[in-house]
Amino acid sequence: MTDDTTRDRVRALVRDVLANALPDEEEAAGSSSSAATTGAASAQSYSVPTRFINTAPEEAQDSQKEFTRDESSKMVITEADVRGLEEGSRLRIAEGAHLTPLAADIVRERRIELVRRVPRRGSRETKMVAVGADHGGFKMKEGLKNFLTELGHRVRDYGTNSEDAVDYPDFAHAVARAVADHHADVGIIIDGAGVGSAMTANKVPGVRAAACYSVAVAKNSREHNDANVLTLGSKTITSAEMREIVHAWLSIEISEERHKKRVAKIKAIERQYCS
């Protein structure tokens, strides 16, 4: 048997298999197409219909769609964030983001579709949050309490209660103790820079306080370091940035074993100095 004969038999077999695999409604079109071509060209150009079974959850499908613009890192959407979007555009925003009145008007007028991103971990869990601040962080703390309530969390306020001068270690210590004693799930402390409160809170066994000044650092402190206390500086961030940082911090939890292993080493070091 020659090589040409063998190839012809293989090609014929392939054509038969493909023809039998076609759905009933397409057999007529397939047979006429195959009759119009012969030899290798027929086997190469034959189009085999496929059936796609969608097994992806709806949320996963939505996340793969194209967005005209992604502003999901912000908690307040302003006119500048929607300016330039054409009618019918898709704007991705955070789950708890708020639109300013002017931004909302533009969204309505241009029929912009808002797609809210739901963080993968932690956002649906209601937490008891201990909050505290010195005189420099008092105003921001009051705004923080309202924001936490909007997100569905419970709040315990450990002071201060005015802009009269006080010492930040007192309030940082109170919040840290609340977390260490399991009276609160997490704590948030605000002073001028956030550094002194972090230093104070980290003196309390069981507390891992992180001074965060951006959304990226906030996420990292939770996902990599399992921080249970967040400290902020009222003189280094705006109220809008505070909301973005807090929302991100509360929406992420440590999950990967490699990170948990490293946090376990932090705890082991702490135990060496606790009598």
Instruction: Give me the tens of pLDDT residue by residue for the chain, a chain 275 residues long.
Output: 555 666 666 666 666 655 554 444 444 444 444 444 444 443 343 333 333 333 333 433 444 456 788 887 787 899 889 988 999 899 888 767 788 989 999 999 998 988 876 554 444 578 999 999 999 999 999 999 999 999 999 999 999 999 999 999 999 999 999 999 999 999 999 999 999 999 999 999 999 999 999 999 999 999 999 999 999 999 999 999 999 999 999 999 888 889 999 999 999 999 999 86
DSSP helix/strand/coil, 34? helix
Please check whether residue 156 lies inside any domain of the structure.
Answer: yes
> Domain check: are 103 and 149 in the same one?
no
> Domain check: are 266 and 146 in the same one?
yes
DSSP helix/strand/coil, 198? helix
The pLDDT of residue 98: 84
The total domain count for the chain is 2
DSSP of 150-194: HTT-EEEE----SSS---HHHHHHHHHHHHHTTSSSEEEEEESSS
- Residues 6+ away with beta carbon under 8 Å from 126: 152, 153, 154
pTM, rounded to two decimals:
0.59
Among the candidates 117, 141, 164, a domain finishes at 117
Backbone torsions φ then ψ of 40, nearest 5 degrees: -65, -35
Rounded CA-CA distance 87/165 in Å is: 52
Please check whether residue 48 lies inside any domain of the structure.
Answer: no
* Beta-bridge partners for 229: 187, 209
> Domain check: are 88 and 138 in the same one?
no
CATH of the domain at 187: 3.40.1400.10
The pLDDT of residue 63: 42
> Domain check: are 113 and 133 in the same one?
no
Please check whether residue 178 lies inside any domain of the structure.
Answer: yes
> Domain check: are 162 and 78 in the same one?
no
> Domain check: are 136 and 259 in the same one?
yes
The pLDDT of residue 59: 39
The pLDDT of residue 121: 46
> Domain check: are 154 and 64 in the same one?
no
Which residues form the catalytic set? 224
Among the candidates 117, 142, 158, a domain finishes at 117
> Can you give the residue range of the structural domain that contains 66?
58-117
Among the candidates 117, 145, 160, a domain finishes at 117
Determine if residue 123 is left, alpha or beta; phi over 0 gives left, psi from -120 to 50 gives alpha, anything else beta. Answer: alpha
DSSP helix/strand/coil, 144? helix
- Residues 6+ away with beta carbon under 8 Å from 141: 131, 132, 133, 157, 190
Please check whether residue 97 lies inside any domain of the structure.
Answer: yes
The pLDDT of residue 16: 63
> Domain check: are 224 and 251 in the same one?
yes
The pLDDT of residue 14: 60
The CA distances from residue 189 to 13, 24, 178, 220, in Å, are: 74, 68, 12, 18
* Beta-bridge partners for 69: 91
The pLDDT of residue 97: 79
Please check whether residue 18 lies inside any domain of the structure.
Answer: no
Edge-to-edge strand order for the sheet containing 113-117? 69-71, 90-94, 113-117
DSSP helix/strand/coil, 71? strand
> Domain check: are 77 and 133 in the same one?
no
Rounded CA-CA distance 123/1 in Å is: 70
Please check whether residue 41 lies inside any domain of the structure.
Answer: no
Question: Which of 192-218 are b and which e, b meaning 16 or more Cβ less than 10 Å from the residue's Cβ?
Answer: bbbebbbebbbebeebbbbbbbebeeb
> Domain check: are 176 and 133 in the same one?
yes
Structure token digits, residue 261: 């292993």
The pLDDT of residue 72: 78
DSSP helix/strand/coil, 211? strand
Rounded CA-CA distance 195/129 in Å is: 20
> Domain check: are 167 and 221 in the same one?
yes
> Domain check: are 178 and 144 in the same one?
yes
The pLDDT of residue 240: 94
